[in-house]
Amino acid sequence: MGRLGDELKKYQRILIDTNLFIYLMEKHPQYFQVAREIFEQIEKGQVYGITSILVLTELLTKPLKDNNENLARSYKAAISTFPNLSVKHIDSNICITAAELRAKYGFKTPDAIFIATAIEEGAEVFITNDIRLRNMAEINCIIISDYLY
């Protein structure tokens, strides 16, 4: 277990951003190992994973545009069956929190929805690779590029 694994031990509930699913499923040459380490900990139940239902929109757009039905099916299956991963629907509380985050930080709506989901679901950390999201007061943020091997 690397530095990231040690860092994840501090948390019980983590929110996973879309980019980690892409890195894992498409075996990204730079980020696959880090993403795999995170998902292995979720799979083993060492940490509980949360994501927003919005992940489906973000994951499926490119495969559908490219007519890559196999990848689209793989994403749908992974999201719906991955152990210890909860996919949360967007409700009014998430929308209100997202609006507050947008007003305070100027986040794009999808980013604000993911972060609001983390906050509303009691996640202790938001795991992403988007450095623009690093410095917010409401939740800890792990940028995976900080943990490259």
**pTM as predicted:** 0.91
The per-residue pLDDT for range 48-71, each reduced to its tens digit, is: 999 999 999 999 999 999 999 999
Q: What is the average pLDDT across 88-113? A: 97
**pLDDT at site 149:** 61
Dihedral over alpha carbons 97, 100, 106, 112 (to 10 degrees): 0
H helices of 44-143, in order, are: 54-65, 69-81, 92-105, 109-120
Residue 43: domain span: 3-147
**pLDDT at site 134:** 85
Q: Tell how strand 125-128 and strand 140-143 pair up.
A: parallel
What's the number of domains the chain is made of?
1
Mean of per-residue pLDDT scores for the chain: 94
More confident residue, 87 or 147: 87
Q: Give the CATH number, domain containing residue 31.
A: 3.40.50.1010
Cα 2 from chain centroid (whole Å): 19
**Cα–Cα distance measured from residue 31 to residue 12, given in angstroms and rounded to the nearest whole number:** 23
pLDDT higher than 80, residue 131: yes
The per-residue pLDDT for range 2-53, each reduced to its tens digit, is: 688 888 989 999 999 999 999 999 999 999 999 999 999 999 999 999 999 9
Q: What is the average pLDDT across 131-140? A: 88
Q: How far is CA 127 from CA 66, 123, 136, in A?
A: 27, 10, 13
Other C-beta atoms lying within 10 Å of the C-beta of residue 45:
10
Q: Which of 76, 50, 49, 51 is nearest to 61 (CA)?
A: 76
